[in-house]
Amino acid sequence: MPILSPKTTLNIIGAQEIQAAAAQRVLLVGQMLTGSAVAGVVSRDVSSSETEINALFGAKSHIAELARKFKSVNKNTALDVLPIADNGAGVAASATLTFGGLATEDGSFDVYVMDKINYRATISVIAGDDDDAVAAKVDAALSALETKWPFSTTSATNVVTLTASNKGTIYNSAPVGVEGSVAGITYTLAAFASGATDPVLTGILAATGNMRYQTISWPASYATTVLTTFLNARFNDEFEVLDGVGLTGKVDIFSNLSAGPSQNSQSLVVKVDNLLALDSRKGPACQTLIDSQIAIFAAVRSLRLTEDASLSGIVTTVAARDQFGGSGASTLPYHNSILPGIAVPLPEDEFSLLQFQSLVEAGYSISSANKAYNAVILGDAVTTYKTNGAGDPDTSFKYLNRVDSSSAIREFFVNNYRARYAQSRLTNGEIVAGRDMVNEGAIRAFSKRLYENLADDAIVEKGQVAAKDFNQNLLIEVSVSGGFIRVDMAPLQVGQVRTILGTIAVKFSS
């Protein structure tokens, strides 16, 4: 062995890097049919393959439909699914289409069920077809396309019956409609109804264990008590960052919605849609199942917050750095975000502008057509949070953006404090070079550095004035004997443009 003098050892150690937020993970909750998944057990990391989704939960199931909708919009974010079995005592919702008359000329019309875009059939009628023949043609046309449609059809004489695939109330507001007409043929459309007895929900979210879900999609017909109890307890967990937001929906007429949601939670968003009871169409104004709308909303929200995910298909801004997801999107306004795959409502079917504004003030989130009526976009996204613990009005967490950005700030500081001080000495004295030590001054300097990182990501305000304000409001208490550090801060969050007011004066000369 050669002589190696002086003995020299240089250890290679990792760099102290800034820690990012945890990767997004979404949970979809809904009802399954026969499949390889086990009811009540979370299926982790569900793939984008329709074949695999159908095999897991049953192709015609409620939850398979939601998973397919989610993956059609977002293939980037990790997706878990909690499938629930139908209640054995449940009853499936059904709708009917009753025909009358005799066709006096050739023609065609469309029938759609559950989803105006995807689940529709064209029925060709020949002059001389009577109402029984037309009903049989509707049954045949729909049945031929039902491989994954979440309903089944039957016909008896002149009546077509559409029956939901799963039992319970989940399809009681499902869309169903007829477009077009044939001379001599009349029809009467009865909305989906009579679905009854949902699964027992008590304790179902215990199946998630300690997994964090930043977004949970929850069926519109399910009571939200289980969901809000679960999420509220996680909002400021003592040991870990576990907070998330539950998205659910409600389909009803304005007068029934005007009082607002009964819940009071920063962790719950309720998206509403107008309930139609027209001759030719029933269900939500956006003629897409409300639970599918919620799954798409969940896909959009999680995509926005997924690091480096492409957002060009869902955002309307052309700002370069806003074309990709991440924590910085927590402050990007939700309004005008596109919800792909939702049927565009007709102008006469929407809530009025004043009703929209009233519903947002009441605590509901909204979506509807863009001004060109060629896409569905989000309006204001708000939580159901209205009052603080003392019962006083409080707007701190009124908007979903505020919840997202507050969560992003908290997680960023927690992750980086935990990483930086994983094995540190604590002192009131000076730092010894080459030793992992920290004092009040070092904590302050590191906190200011973290604030600057958040400012560069457009989550908190940037600039000397903002940095000075952060430093002045940064209170640090150190107890060497107890190994205790207390940090109180008030970062200046970035807001969103929601209202522009002004005046235009009439003037005739300079």
Angle 290-304/62-73 helices, nearest 10 degrees? 40
Average pLDDT of the residues in 394-419: 94
Q: Do residues 306 and 76 make contact, with C-beta atoms less than 8 angstroms apart?
A: yes
- The string of pLDDT tens digits covering residues 441-485 is 999 999 999 999 999 999 999 999 999 999 999 999 999 999 999
Q: Are strands 376-378 and 245-252 parallel, antiparallel or unpaired?
A: unpaired
The pLDDT, as a whole number, for residue 93 is 98
> What average pLDDT does the chain have?
95
Tell me the pLDDT band of 18, cut-offs 50, 70 and 90. confident
Strands (E), 253-361: 268-277, 281-284
Dihedral (Cα; 30, 31, 32, 37), 10-degree rounding: 50
Spatial CA neighbour of 191 closest among 209, 178, 207 = 178
The single residue listed with the structure tokens 């049953």 is: 58
CA distance 447 to 441: 10
Tell me the pLDDT band of 20, cut-offs 50, 70 and 90. confident
Average pLDDT of the residues in 313-335: 95
- The string of pLDDT tens digits covering residues 215-244 is 999 999 999 999 999 999 999 888 888 999
CA 462-464-467 angle, to 5 degrees, is 70
Spatial CA neighbour of 457 closest among 18, 76, 78 = 18
Q: Do residues 492 and 506 make contact, with C-beta atoms less than 8 angstroms apart?
A: no
Tell me the pLDDT band of 351, cut-offs 50, 70 and 90. very high
Q: Do residues 191 and 277 make contact, with C-beta atoms less than 8 angstroms apart?
A: yes
Query: Phi and psi of 9, rounded to 5°?
Result: -130, 125
Q: How many CA atoms lie within 13 A of 348 on its CB side?
A: 3
Q: Do residues 288 and 120 make contact, with C-beta atoms less than 8 angstroms apart?
A: no
CA distances from 193 to 164, 177, 282, 283 (A): 10, 14, 11, 10
Burial profile 352-371: b = 16 or more Cβ within 10 angstroms, e = fewer? eeebbebbbebbbbbbbbee
* pLDDT over 90 (residue 11): no
Tell me the pLDDT band of 1, cut-offs 50, 70 and 90. low
- The string of pLDDT tens digits covering residues 59-91 is 999 999 999 999 999 999 999 999 999 999 999
- The string of pLDDT tens digits covering residues 153-203 is 999 999 999 999 999 999 999 999 999 999 999 999 999 999 999 999 999
Q: Do residues 47 and 53 make contact, with C-beta atoms less than 8 angstroms apart?
A: yes
CA 377-380-384 angle, to 5 degrees, is 125
The single residue listed with the structure tokens 């956006």 is: 286
CA distance 400 to 397: 7
Average pLDDT of the residues in 6-28: 81
* pLDDT over 70 (residue 355): yes
- The string of pLDDT tens digits covering residues 128-153 is 999 999 999 999 999 988 888 999 99
Tokens of 371: 């001004």
* pLDDT over 90 (residue 6): no
Tell me the pLDDT band of 326, cut-offs 50, 70 and 90. very high
* pLDDT over 90 (residue 17): no
Q: Do residues 421 and 403 make contact, with C-beta atoms less than 8 angstroms apart?
A: no
- Domains of the chain, with CATH numbers? 25-85+199-378 (no CATH), 92-193 (2.60.40), 424-510 (no CATH)
